[in-house]
Amino acid sequence: MIIVLERGATEPQIDQISKYLTSRGIRFERMNGRLQTVLGIVGSTGGYDIASLATMPGVQEVVRVSSPYRLSSRSAHPEDTVITMPDGTRIGGTAPSIVIAGPCSVESEDQVRRTAEIVRKAGVRFMRGGAFKPRTSPYSFQGLGFDGLELLKKVGEEFGMYIVTEAMEPAQVPAIAEYADIVQVGSRNMQNFPLLKQVGSIEKPVLLKRGAASTVEEWLMAAEYILAGGNNNVILCERGIRTFEPSLRFTPDLAAVPVVKKLSHLPIIVDPSHATGRREFVSSIARGAIAVGADGLIVEVHPDPDRALSDGAQSLTFELFEEMMGELVRVADAVNRPLLVEPLHKKDGAFVRKPSSVQQ
């Protein structure tokens, strides 16, 4: 932090500011410029809110020079964080980019199984599906709750897929983490601090979606809560932000991918479904995300999107999904970062995650 003093700051004013700092044990260095004086804080501010000094007489502005997040910052942890799933599948770093696919909401066993079969056949290892849904209207479908989680788990095991599902309430996190392989914190809950603290206390990886009105810094501060709780397995997810542009549901911020990669070591994936809100644009934004270096994608797919109980307009049909996967593989090859595509394997009549001969 640097405290820039006003051009006309008087010695008694500077003295008062200096006393404020020293009385709180905050060390600083005074630099006298030709026109202005600057006080540079040395080391920690000891938890004091130095920004509030901006209102003291003689202070022009208080400037932050280092990032407010530490654990999620690249400077504190130069190597990429790589998350390793129980079978050795890796997310982040130089690992192949992953695809998470499935319906917005779990609606029925038939819907989940049909979707799982198609996406798994296309080589996808991670299935999404909401059982607890954050809906704008209290009259909209709210999800099947724990019955939905049972369905996800059953079908996930059947097809050898990891389950990604959302938790909305801190109290439900331990129970949801029993079913989920990755626990999602949705956009609306990015700054639900009790929820962030709770997912910080579990072992399972957390998919932290960016708030629609959040800056990258606020998003990394939210990740900081989870890391500070002891859970280092955080995957960030860019899912579109609200801007003045009304032609799409949100504005996909693909630039956030290289920006986050510079500022943080955490893996980052992109959700082109919520970002665009329209299935016709999902594939192009997905391709863009892979091209700019995303560690993966999360995409909504439904057997009959026009009858979906949530987010039908942005859900891909099976046909569009298969087409998108083919295109993604080509983009991934072009940028020299393969896409994780693992064909379905059957062993003793059941689908398995990996044939024993295939090593990660």
Q: Residue numbers of the site for ligand PEP (CB under 6 A)?
A: 104, 130, 134, 186-188, 209, 239, 271, 274
Least Å from the CB of residue 315 to ligand PEP:
10
Least Å from the CB of residue 165 to ligand PEP:
9
Least Å from the CB of residue 18 to ligand PEP:
47
Nearest to 106 by CA among 64, 72, 142: 142
Instruction: Please say whether the beta carbons of 163 and 179 come within 8 A.
Output: yes
* Cβ neighbours of residue 105 closer than 8 Å, sequence gap 6 or more: 129, 130, 131, 133, 141, 143, 144, 148, 308, 309, 310, 311
Q: Which residue's CB is nearer to Mn ion, number 224 or number 311? A: 311
> How far is Cα 283 from Cα 279, in angstroms, rounded to an integer?
8
> In a 3-state reduction of DSSP, which class is residue 213?
coil
Contact flags string 55-94 toward Mn ion, x per CB under 5 A: ----------------------------------------
Q: Which residue's CB is nearer to ligand PEP, number 271 or number 295? A: 271
Structure tokens at 89: 């599948």
- Per rule CB under 5 A, is residue 104 in the interface with Mn ion? yes
- Could you list the beta-strand ranges (E) of the chain: 2-5, 27-32, 37-42, 59-63, 83-84, 90-91, 98-102, 126-128, 162-166, 182-185, 206-209, 234-238, 268-270, 296-300, 345-347, 350-352
Least Å from the CB of residue 317 to ligand PEP:
18
Least Å from the CB of residue 142 to Mn ion:
13
- Per rule CB under 5 A, is residue 271 in the interface with Mn ion? no
Q: What is the DSSP letter of 98?
A: E
How many chain residues bind Mn ion (CB under 5 A)?
2
Least Å from the CB of residue 360 to ligand PEP:
27
Instruction: Please say whether the beta carbons of 264 and 304 come within 8 A.
Output: no
Q: Which position's Cβ is nearest ligand PEP?
A: 186
Rg (CA), the chain: 24
Instruction: Please say whether the beta carbons of 310 and 134 come within 8 A.
Output: no
> How far is Cα 234 from Cα 282, in angstroms, rounded to an integer?
24
Least Å from the CB of residue 268 to ligand PEP:
14
Nearest to 238 by CA among 262, 266, 271, 196: 271
Least Å from the CB of residue 9 to Mn ion:
53
Cα–Cα separations (whole angstroms), residue 181 to 129, 204, 234: 12, 6, 13
Q: Which residue's CB is nearer to Mn ion, number 292 or number 313? A: 313
Task: Say how far residue 358 (Cα) sits from the centre of its chain.
Answer: 30
Contact flags string 279-318 toward Mn ion, x per CB under 5 A: --------------------------------x-------
Which of ligand PEP, Mn ion, none binds 209 (CB below 5-8 Å, type-dependent)? ligand PEP
Which of ligand PEP, Mn ion, none binds 230 (CB below 5-8 Å, type-dependent)? none
- Per rule CB under 5 A, is residue 166 in the interface with Mn ion? no
**Contact positions toward Mn ion, by CB under 5 A?**
104, 311
